[in-house]
Structure 1
């Protein structure tokens, strides 16, 4: 009995609405980050941690969310 071979399906682009749906969904999911991120970052105190190098990363996150 011959081994089964997989046939490649030709690539077809997504329907135009699929890209818009993805963008809307991604923005909807990211909304919580924009809403709650700044308040959570304010609670982070890099000087009180054993990893002071985190201060630079927290500063970049704060800047990005402004």
Structure 2
């Protein structure tokens, strides 16, 4: 893979997610988005977290498979 430039749409989506109090999570499989959020967290405190669709939801949400 080639290096990924920060996409303006990521920034727009993150800004909307941060301002909308009902948004607590951002769901993606895009590693670039995860890296962009990590960079943003160095300067601001976003009010949402990223959930990766690459990780099973039971693991992400801590649901036991009984």
Fold in common (TM above 0.5): no
TM-score w.r.t. length of structure 2: 0.28
What TM-score do you get using the length of structure 1 for normalisation?
Answer: 0.28
Return the index of the structure with the highest Cα Rg: 1
